[in-house]
Structure 1
Amino acid sequence: MSLSSGFVSLNPNESSRIAYFSMEIAVAPHMPTYSGGLGVLAGDTLRSAADMGLPLAAVTLAHRKGYFRQHLDKDGVQTEEPQPWKIEEKLTPEKPVVTITLEEREVALRAWRYDLIGVSGHRIPIYFLDTDLQQNDPADRTLTDQLYGGDGDYRLRQEIVLGMGGVRFLDALGYRATVYHMNEGHAALLTLALMEDQMNGAPLSSAKEANAAAVRQHCVFTTHTPVPAGHDRFSLEQANRILGRDRLAFLERNGCIHEGLLNMTYVALSFSRFVNGVAMQHGKVSRSMFPEYNISAITNGVHAATWTSAAFQNIFDRHMPRWRQDNVTLRYAIDIPEEEIESAHAAAKQLLVDAVAQRTGVALRTDVFTIGFARRAATYKRADLLFTDPERLVRCAHEHGGLQILYSGKAHPADEPGKAKIRHVIELAKKLNSDALHIVYLENYEWTLGALLTGGVDVWLNTPKRPYEASGTSGMKAALNGVPSLSILDGWWIEGWIEGVTGWAIEDHEDEAAEANSLYEHLEHVLLPLFYEQPQQWRRIMRSTIALNGSFFNTQRMLEQYVVNAYFPEQRVTEPAAEPEPALAR
C-alpha cells in the first residue's frame, strides 16, 4: 500500500500492525452497534483504513441489545426500547475463547467477526467481543448486551472486557499489533493487559518504569470530549472490588487516580506515547485540561463515499472518477458546472422531503429554505438557541419567502436535561408552526436519517456552547453534499469556516441572547436573501463547500495524519526505512 502523502509502503503481512479499540463502531445501518458521533467516526475510520489497505484490526463489544430506539410522544416526551439484533445472522463466529478476571472470578468471552471491504478489496476485520457464553454466571452473560447501559459497576466491567479482553483475544488469534489505538478512554484498560503481558507472570508490584515505557511505546490515545462527564471515572471501592487490589495499586502508582477516582482518561494518558484531540481547538482545550501531558491534534473527518448522496456520487464519478480512492480529488469539484450541483442537491432534497412526509405526514416543499439541526440532545449543544426570540424567527420566515426547520437527536436515557431540551423544541414547534414556518422534530436519529438530513437540507446549523464541541462531524457530511454550515466557531468549524464561501460563523458572546442575535442577523440579511434572490451565488457557495471542506474533512486525510504522526512516525520516506519494531514481548 502506498499513501499519497509520501509514506513508505505498509503491507498487511508485515509485523507493523494496528489494533483499533472502540466501545462503539457504526458498521452498517442495519446493525445498532453505535450511539452517535463516536461510533460513526470509528466506522468511518475503519472504512477509510480498508480503502487505504492499512494493516489494521478493530475490537469492540457485541451490544446484543443495541443502544436504544427512541420514541417521542406528541409532547416530546422521550421513551426508549432496546434494539435487539441477531448477531448470528450478521457476523461470523471466531473459534478462540479467552478468559479475564472480574471480582476474582473468571469470565469467558469469544468474538464475532465482520469484514469491512475497501475500494481496493482490502479487508479490515472487526471483532465484536461477547460474554454470552453458557459457562459464565448469568449476570456476566449480559455484560456485552447494552451500549452505555447499566450502572457504574456494569460500565467498569464492560471496559475490562473491551480493553483487557480485547488484548487477550487478539493474542489468541495470533494478531501481534505494534500499535494499539484507544478511541476514547473506554478502552484504556488494554494498557493494563499489555503491562501484565510485559511482566510475563511477575506481580505488577514489581513493575519498573522500563516496563511502563515498553507499554507506552505501543499505545496511541485519542480523547474526544472537553465535557467532564465524558471522561469515565470510577470509585476506588469499585476499582478495588472489580479490578482487584494489585491492579488498582499499580494504576495508583502510575498517576491514574485523579480527585480520588480511577480516571480512564488518565490511564490512557499515562501509558500512551502519542495523544491527540480531534480538532485544532480541542487540542488546545485538552492541553489546558491535562497540562502535564503532551497532547497533539488530528482533526476528525468522515468517510466521503458513505456520506455523499447518490446524486452527488454520480456527478463526482463523471467529473473525478478516482475520488473514492483519493478524496483530495474533491478539490476539483470547483470546476463542476453549477447547474449540476443544483440538480444533485434538488434530488437529495426531494428524498428528504419524501422521507419526512412518510415518517410524520408533514408535507414540506423543496423550494423553501430548509435548516437542519441533528445531533445528540445534550444541553451544551443548545438545540433551542434558534428560538431565543420566537417572534423574530416567525417574522423572518414570513418576510423572506418561508422557512423549514428539521430537528433530530436522541438524549441518553439518564440525561433528563437533554430530554427537556427535546420537549422544549417540540413545544415551541407547536406554537410557532404556520404557513410560512414549519418545524419538525424527527424521532430516532440514526444512520439513514442522518444521511438524508445532511444531504437534503440547505444549511447545517450548529450552536454549541464554546468550547464544549470537541469536533463535530455532521457538518462535514453536509459539506460533501454542497450544504454549507451556519455555526458557532467551535470544534472543526474554526478550521473549515470561510465566511460566505463555505458557510457562516455565528459570533461568539458570553451572552446567549447576543449569539442568537448574530444567528438571526445572518438569516435575515445574508442566508435567506442569498437563497431566494441570488440563486447563482448560492450555487457557487455549495460548490466551494464541496471543493474546500469536502476534500479535507474526510477520514482518508485524517488516517494519513495518524499514520505519519502516531502509528509509524519512524517510517517517513525522508529517512531510510527502519526495521519494524518487534511486537510487545509476551
Structure 2
Amino acid sequence: MVRDTNDNSSVAYFSMEIGLDEGINTYSGGLGVLAGDTISSAADFKVPMAAVTLLYRKGHFRQEIGADGWQREEAADWPVEEHLEEMDERTAVEVEGRRVHLRAWKRDVTGIDGFVVPVYFIDSDLPENSHWDRTLTHYLYGGDDHYRLSQEVILGIGGVRILRELGYDEIKSFHMNEGHAALLTLEILDETARAAGRREITEEDRKAVQEKCVFTTHTPVPAGHDKFSIDLARKVIGDRDDFFGLEGILYQGEVLNMTYLGLKMSRYINGVAKKHGEVSRLIFAGYCIDAITNGVHVGRWVSAPFAELFDRHIPMWRRDNFSLRYALSIPHGEVSSAHMEAKRRLLGYVREEAGVEMEEEVLTIGFARRATPYKRGDLIFRDADRLARISQEAGEVQLIFAGKAHPRDLGGKELIRRIFQAKESLRDDIKIAYLEDYSMTLGGMITSGVDLWLNTPEPPMEASGTSGMKAALNGVPSFSVLDGWWVEGHIEGLTGWSIGDPVRGRGEGRDNSRDAASLYKKLEGVIIPLFYQDKERFTDVMIHSIAINGSFFNTQRMMQEYVLNAYYLR
C-alpha cells in the first residue's frame, strides 16, 4: 500500500476508545474524548502518527432515565459506512485457537495545515468468522472477562498486524493509552524473534521491545486496571509457553495484569497530572513514572461565541494556544456577552429537553461527569436543607447535571437516582435538571453555558479530569476538590475556588460531611456574593480562567511534551 506523502508514521497510538465525532459512537467518556483531542493535536503539529482502536457497531449505549431516576440502556447503532472508509487489507488473530479474520476502517483527522493522522477502526464482523467472533468488536466495554480479553487480543495483537498490512513498517513508538492494548507487546516480541531467525523469546527481545513502547496510565481506581485469570489468558491467547514463561512480566502470580504488562514493557511511563504521577509512583513502586498533564483540544471545545471573540482579539489562538494568555486584554463586557450567548443556548436546550424553565440571570452550576460513586455527584445535596436556605437567603442558584453510569456500575446508577430524589425534594426551592444521554455535543454545551463548574471527586481518585479544562476555555471558573489537574490549575479567587483541603497521600480517606460543609461555606460566603454583587470581579475570574488555565491545559502543550519526552522524534 502506498500511504499519503504526509503520513510516514513513526508513532502508533492505541486506545480502547477514541471519540472523534458525535456520529462515530466509539467512546464512552473522558478516555476516548482525550484520545480524540490528542489525535487532533498530533495532526495540528504534523506528528507522524497512526491511531488504532476497535469498531463498536453497537456503540456504547443510549441512556434513558425513568421518572424514578433509574438509568436504562439501549444499543446505539450507527451508520459505519457514512463515517468511515473501508480498507482492502485483511489480517487475522488466534482467539481460543480459532482464526478470527479482521479488517480496518479509516477516518482521517486533518490538522490546521492539512496534515492527516489516520485512525483505523478494527472490525471482526466478517462473514468468514463465526457468529460469536463477529460480535467481538460490537460493544465497547461489553460482556464479561472472556469477551473483554478477546477484544484486547484483537486490539493489541490484531492492531499491530493490521498496521503492518497497511504498510506501517517503521514505527518507532507504540503508545498504549491505558493497559487495554498491552498485548501489542506480545506481537512485537514475536516480530523481534522472527527478525532474528528464532521462534523462542529472549531477554534481549524483551529489552528491544521495551525500547519501542510508551505507556500512559490514566487512573488509580482499581476497576480501571484490567486483570484476567491466567487460565482464561491461556485459553484465549493460546498456550504459548514462551509467553507464559515470562512470569513477572506477562503475569503476576495467577493474574494477567494488563497495567503491569504495559509498565514492564515500556521505556517511558507517565501519569496524566503531576498529582497522579505521585500517586502512581506509590501504587506502582519501583517504576520510573513521569507526569504529562492532560489537556483538551482548543479548536474542538471553544464554543462559537468565544471562538468569534478570540478571532477578533487573539487571531493566532488556534495555531498558538498559549496566546490565549492575551485574553487578559479583552474587555469585560465582551466576555460577559459571549458567555451569555452560550448560556442562552444551554438554557434553551434544558427547557426543550428537560422541561425546566431556568433564568438567565441566576447563578447556574454545572456538573457533568461519568456517574460513579467516587466522583460524588450528589455531594452538593449532602445537606439539602442548608442548600435550599443558601439559595433563598444568599442568592438563587440553579443546577444542571449530566452523566452516564456504566451498565454494570450499580453504585453509579444509585448516584443518579439520588440526584433525582434531591431534585424532587428541592423542586419548590431550586431548579434542577438532569440531562439524558451525555455526549460530546452536550458536554460542550454544558461546559460553555454554565456560570460555575462543580467537581467533587474523592481524592486521590481523580487522575486528571478534563471537563473543567473545557469550562476554563469558555471562561467558566471551577469550584473543585483539589485533585487531578485542579491541583495545578487552582489559584484561589483568580481561576476559581477549592473545596476542602488537599489530601496528600493515598488511602487517607475523605470526610464527605466536611467537604460538603466547605462547599456550602464558600458558595454562600464567597461565590454567590461575588456573582450577584460584583459582576466585574466575577468576570475577572472568568478571564483569568481563560488566560491562565485555557492557555496551558490544552493538548497542544500536552502533545509537545509527548514529542519531547516520550516519542523521541527530535
TM range (shorter): over 0.9
Partner of 1:95: 88
How do residues 474-489 of structure 1 correspond to structure 2 at under 5 angstroms? 474-489=467-482
How do residues 18-417 of structure 1 correspond to structure 2 at under 5 angstroms? 18-176=11-169, 177-200=171-194, 206-246=200-240, 249-250=243-244, 252-258=246-252, 260-417=254-411
Partner of 1:521: 521
Tell me the distance in 2 between the aligned counterparts of 1:203 and 1:238.
30
Deviation at 1:526, TM superposition (A): 0.5
Tell me the distance in 2 between the aligned counterparts of 1:91 and 1:49.
20
Tell me the distance in 2 between the aligned counterparts of 1:275 and 1:546.
30
Partner of 2:419: 425
Deviation at 1:150, TM superposition (A): 0.7
SS, match of residue 139 in structure 1: helix
Tell me the distance in 2 between the aligned counterparts of 1:257 and 1:57.
29
Tell me the distance in 2 between the aligned counterparts of 1:348 and 1:225.
32
Deviation at 1:381, TM superposition (A): 0.3
Partner of 2:498: 505
Tell me the distance in 2 between the aligned counterparts of 1:290 and 1:490.
19
Deviation at 1:250, TM superposition (A): 3.5
* Kept in 1: contact 2:279–2:460 (CA 8 A): yes
Partner of 1:541: 541
Tell me the distance in 1 between the aligned counterparts of 2:110 and 2:120.
14
Deviation at 1:205, TM superposition (A): 7.7
SS, match of residue 193 in structure 1: helix
* Kept in 1: contact 2:201–2:242 (CA 8 A): no
Deviation at 1:540, TM superposition (A): 0.5
Partner of 1:8: none
**CA deviations over 1:413-446 (Å, ceiling 9, x no partner):** 0011110010011011100122x51111111111
Partner of 2:506: none
* Kept in 2: contact 1:98–1:108 (CA 8 A): yes
Distance 1:26 1:148, change over 3 A: same
> Match of 2:25, as an amino acid?
P
> Match of 1:551, as an amino acid?
S
Tell me the distance in 2 between the aligned counterparts of 1:55 and 1:340.
39
* Kept in 2: contact 1:303–1:554 (CA 8 A): yes
SS, match of residue 200 in structure 1: helix
Deviation at 1:148, TM superposition (A): 0.3
* Kept in 2: contact 1:204–1:246 (CA 8 A): no
* Kept in 1: contact 2:6–2:116 (CA 8 A): no
SS, match of residue 134 in structure 2: helix
Tell me the distance in 1 between the aligned counterparts of 2:567 and 2:543.
34
SS, match of residue 515 in structure 1: helix
SS, match of residue 401 in structure 1: coil
Tell me the distance in 1 between the aligned counterparts of 2:58 and 2:117.
24
Tell me the distance in 1 between the aligned counterparts of 2:531 and 2:248.
57
* Kept in 1: contact 2:193–2:199 (CA 8 A): no
SS, match of residue 135 in structure 1: coil
Out of 16-25 and 532-541, give the one that drifted further. 16-25
Distance 1:251 1:376, change over 3 A: farther
Moved over 4 A (4+): 11-16, 201-205
TM-score with structure 1 length normalisation?
Answer: 0.93
Partner of 1:577: none
> Match of 2:519, as an amino acid?
L
> Match of 1:528, as an amino acid?
I
**CA deviations over 1:295-332 (Å, ceiling 9, x no partner):** 10000000001111100000101111111111111111
**Residue 450 of structure 1 is aligned with which of 423, 434, 443?**
443
Partner of 2:10: 17
Distance 1:113 1:242, change over 3 A: same
**CA deviations over 1:348-371 (Å, ceiling 9, x no partner):** 000000000110111111100000
Deviation at 1:238, TM superposition (A): 0.5
Partner of 1:4: none
> Match of 2:221, as an amino acid?
V
* Kept in 2: contact 1:205–1:250 (CA 8 A): no
SS, match of residue 359 in structure 1: helix
Partner of 1:530: 530
2:457 is the alignment partner of 1:459: no
Deviation at 1:215, TM superposition (A): 0.5
**CA deviations over 1:228-279 (Å, ceiling 9, x no partner):** 1110000111101001121674464342323521000011111100000000
Tell me the distance in 1 between the aligned counterparts of 2:529 and 2:231.
61
Out of 197-206 and 87-96, give the one that drifted further. 197-206
- Percent identity of paired positions between Structure 1 and Structure 2: 53
Deviation at 1:519, TM superposition (A): 0.4
* Kept in 2: contact 1:239–1:248 (CA 8 A): no
Tell me the distance in 1 between the aligned counterparts of 2:7 and 2:236.
37
Tell me the distance in 2 between the aligned counterparts of 1:268 and 1:203.
26
> Match of 1:533, as an amino acid?
Q
> Match of 1:240, as an amino acid?
R
Tell me the distance in 2 between the aligned counterparts of 1:199 and 1:252.
15
Partner of 2:567: 567
Tell me the distance in 1 between the aligned counterparts of 2:283 and 2:199.
30
**CA deviations over 1:368-415 (Å, ceiling 9, x no partner):** 000000100010001111111111000000012311011111000001
> Match of 1:112, as an amino acid?
W
Tell me the distance in 2 between the aligned counterparts of 1:433 and 1:301.
37
Distance 1:551 1:530, change over 3 A: same
Tell me the distance in 2 between the aligned counterparts of 1:562 and 1:397.
45
**Residue 473 of structure 1 is aligned with which of 466, 474, 481?**
466
> Match of 2:453, as an amino acid?
W
Deviation at 1:206, TM superposition (A): 2.9
Tell me the distance in 1 between the aligned counterparts of 2:238 and 2:111.
42
Where structure 1 has 5 or more consecutive residues not aligned to the other structure, the ranges are 1-10, 572-586
> Match of 1:495, as an amino acid?
E
* Kept in 2: contact 1:251–1:267 (CA 8 A): no
Distance 1:366 1:349, change over 3 A: same
Tell me the distance in 2 between the aligned counterparts of 1:421 and 1:76.
9
Deviation at 1:209, TM superposition (A): 1.4
